Amino acid sequence: MDDSPVVSLTSGNYRYIMKAIVQRVTRASVSVNGELISSIGKGLCVLVGICKSDTDRDIEYIVRKLLNLRLWSDGEGKRWMHSLSSQKLEILCVSQFTLYHVLKGNSPDFHQAMPSQDSKAFFDKFISQLKSAYSPELVKEGKFGHYMQVDIQGDGPVTIQLESPKTETANPSKKTSKIPAETGDTS
């Protein structure tokens, strides 16, 4: 008998997750209308997708993972040994609602993204918690709600997709199809 946990496939029972596309960079910057808003040297550039069902728990998870992802080599060339926080590197975060798209034909639909009036406060809270958990002077951000030019000089390239843990919500009136959930570290 298989004792693995299950995740519902019915959207009525499935809670979408906070996403972060993480790129290891030698430098990155954000400009709006030709004006430089933020820039970093060696570190991480993070594109943050906020879903309408995201909570403080999702922020805590993503912040912890960003600070502890081991994406750098040690002094002897052994890979995947050091994190952003252990190296005291910079991080540039850019809110990107387009990570929550659904294609309808050839057109993207963003109905799962958190509405802009709510996501601004949520993104600000994310940045605040990141600064509180790390070094505020090493945390930079884009300009929320503006059309930005994001210049990323990748290092590697190394790109990691983070997603907060999936959870199932109770909805006994919906019939669901179930599949085994991914197993592994969700800390």
Cα distances (angstroms) measured from residue 80 to each of 73, 74, 77, 90, 99: 5, 8, 9, 18, 26
Q: For residues 103-110, give the mean pLDDT.
A: 94
Which stretch of 71-75, 150-154, 168-172, 174-178 has the lowest confidence by average pLDDT? 174-178
Phi, psi of 36 (to 5 degrees): -65, 125
Query: All domains of the chain, ordered by start, with CATH?
Result: 1-14+169-187 (no CATH), 18-164 (3.50.80.10)
Answer whether the bond into residue 157 is a cis peptide, omega within 30°: yes
- pLDDT at 39 exceeding the cut of 50: yes
Q: For residues 102-126, give the mean pLDDT.
A: 94
Q: How many helices (H) and strands (E) does the chain have?
A: 3, 14
- pLDDT at 115 exceeding the cut of 70: yes
CB atoms < 10 A from the CB of 176, how many? 15
pLDDT of 172 reads: 41
pLDDT of 6 reads: 33
- pLDDT at 135 exceeding the cut of 50: yes
Confidence of residue 14 (pLDDT cuts 50, 70, 90): low
Q: For tokens 């599949």, name the residue.
A: 179
pTM given for the model? 0.81
Distance, in Å, from the CA atom of 147 to the CA atom of 156, rounded to the nearest integer, reads 27
* pLDDT tens digits, 159-184: 999 999 876 554 444 443 344 444 44
Confidence of residue 44 (pLDDT cuts 50, 70, 90): very high
* Percent of the chain residues topping a pLDDT of 90: 74
pLDDT of 169 reads: 55
pLDDT of 75 reads: 87
